[in-house]
Chain A
Amino acid sequence: MFSIRPSKVTRSLRTTLLWWLLPSAIVFMGVAWLIHGFLLEQMSRDFVHERLHQEAEFLERQVRQTYPDFDAALLADSYFHEVFHHTFALRIGDRVAFSHPSRQDKFQPWLQNPQTNFLTIEGDETGASFLAFRKAFEMAGEPIVIIVAEDYSLLADSQQELHLWTAVVSAALLLFLVLLILLAVHIALRPVKQLQRELGDLRAGARDRLSLYVPNEFEGLIFELNRLLDTLDTRLERSRQGMANLSHSIKTPIAALTQILADRDTPVEGPLREQMVSRLVDLDSQLEAEMHRSSFAGPQAGKTAAPETQVREIVWMLGRLYENKQFHMETDLEQPRWPVEEHDFSELIGNLVDNAGKWAKSEVLVRLTQSQNELVLEVEDDGPGVEPSARAGLGSRGLRLDEQTEGHGLGLAIVRDIVERYNGHLVFSDGRLGGLLVRINLTKT
């Protein structure tokens, strides 16, 4: 019964709840009903047994008083007879007497055996079956057997009727439970319907945030959704801003270059040619910087990175590219994933480790550790290091510490950008290897 579960495809809350609750309710009620039937049976049997027992004892006293005479009338006379449809049979020695002569054949065999016990005498063609108590004793060496029997089928009928009614009531309760479930789901889903309407309005532009007039259980959800909307807004704003900047900054050089190339009278040579190349190079670096800036997802993108794997790959790759330098990696990360978008994280690591590789004499060490909810990334090299006074400017746009080592500026600027976006910390200090040590802390939000 329980193996029939709704598949993952079932997407209705009602169906799921009914699937889970109904079988258990049905089983529960079925068991209760069976137990009820069993107890009812037990109780009525005990009750009948008790009565038969008492009557047999009453008869025994009668027989003992009148012995050795034998008054068959006392069987016919007894008031039990009318009230309880009881049947009596008596044997004293060879003499037998029956309250209902018609049932003589039925009871005769049971009188032969002088034993004291309860009997169940199966029904004949009239359908009557009897519960009976047989009492055996002796007087003056003569065996005496008394049987008191009650027609059980009548009792059983009424008992069955009662049992059936119980079943009907249970079924009604079950139906009521189903209705309750449906009602509960309906009530619980009302805020969702409202949310759906509001989201529709939101898309149509009729509102810009979701209302917080919802049951407590939904407050968190609405709050998160609103935060998501904030994120989306910020991101949209940023990319618009970026596109505007980019367009603004590249239109002019493009116009200038087109102008020169289209003008057949101006020969392209000498300093002008140099100038054109440098304009194009500038164009490219602007495009590159803007591309980098706009390709970051930022926090709350709902993506996670696998720091250890990504650091390992970057370290392996740079180890291959800088053949004569050693790249080491130390890590004690327990969690395989971290809430930083993968692309952002690889840009962060790549730029840091590549930077260290450029400056290192022979070694670069990357350390990846974590405390409670903080990821700590340390990259150090055995290069010349950076003067404390110059560290504040590291990674600030456009600052080049060294004209020969290209990309130092842009790489660290990107790192700074990403760390800021994730509200992390970026610290420059002296490493144990003699070069620069860059430490980045990213906190889980």
Chain B
Amino acid sequence: MRLLLVEDDEMLALSLTRFLRSAGFAVDHVSSAQNARAMGLQEDYRAAVLDIGLPDGSGLEVLETWRQARSEVPVLLLTARGGWQDKVNGLKAGADDYLAKPFHAEELVARINALIRRSEGRVHKVLQASGFELDEERKRVRTPEGAWHGLTGTEFRLLRCLMARPGRIFSKEELLEQLYNLDADPSHNVIEAYIRRLRRLIGRDSITTLRGQGYVFDTSQ
């Protein structure tokens, strides 16, 4: 299995490469953002380990370049900064996992294997409806203005249900089936609350209420 390692610290890269090879990976090592960009797009890797702090740029920028070029390689970020906001920014840029330095090499291998397992048989599906894009892998939605918004599990299931059949009216009962919610007896108010939240996230007019009937995504269809 081919793996790309992007790490500028020679000592760390050396021992990691050795360890990853013994774990059965064919490792290509690069130590600059420029090379990482090129290699990531030219070659076909099963996974990539990407350090955020590179001498000639940020690993996040490299990652964004890859994702813009529609590369779906699973990426694990390495960073010396373990703040939550850093982690969020990493995943927003399109990473799949995150490891703060220092770490045990065993843990790195375990995480890489988990990523590869997760990506196997994964068909990257994107649902599109009236200018909106729903990224089913990363559970996020892009509005026509181009901004991505992360969705929680329930929000994602509800929106996927509505977007899968734009123009079709879904009653509250039908939508309730999408939420195996925490409450033993989920009420209609829960649906209303979630619809309200989705509207706040992706625009008021995206979902229309038909009084007494239910909800519709994009009535123009």
Contacts and interface: CB of A to CB of B under 8 A. Distances in A.
Interface of A: 280-281, 284, 288, 295, 312-317, 319-321, 323, 326-331, 342-343, 346-347, 349-351, 363, 365, 432-433
Given A313-B92, A316-B151, A331-B197, A321 B97 contact: yes
Contact of B85 (A280, A319, A342): A342
Nearest to A291: B82
A313 B83 CA distance: 14
Contacts of B181: 328
Given A327-B152, A328-B182, A346 B85 contact: yes
A328 B154 CA distance: 7
Contact of B153 (A326, A349, A432): A326
Given A312-B152, A317-B91, A328-B153, A350 B197 contact: no
A274 B166 CA distance: 61
B87 interface: yes
Contact of A316 (B85, B150, B182): B150
Top 9 A-B residue pairs of the complex, sorted by shortest distance between their CB atoms: A350-B84, A316-B150, A346-B84, A346-B85, A317-B91, A313-B88, A326-B153, A329-B152, A315-B152
A363 B92 contact: no
B153 A319 contact: yes
Given A328-B181, A365-B182, A314 B84 contact: yes
B172 interface: no
Contacts of B96: 320
A342 B193 CA distance: 26
Interface in B112-163: 118, 138-140, 149-154
A313 B90 CA distance: 11
Contacts of A350: 84, 87-88
Nearest to B101: A284
22 contacts: A281-B102, A284-B102, A295-B83, A312-B150, A313-B88, A313-B92, A316-B151, A316-B152, A317-B87, A317-B92, A319-B139, A320-B138, A326-B153, A327-B152, A327-B153, A328-B154, A328-B182, A342-B85, A343-B85, A346-B83, A347-B84, A350-B87
A313 B197 contact: no
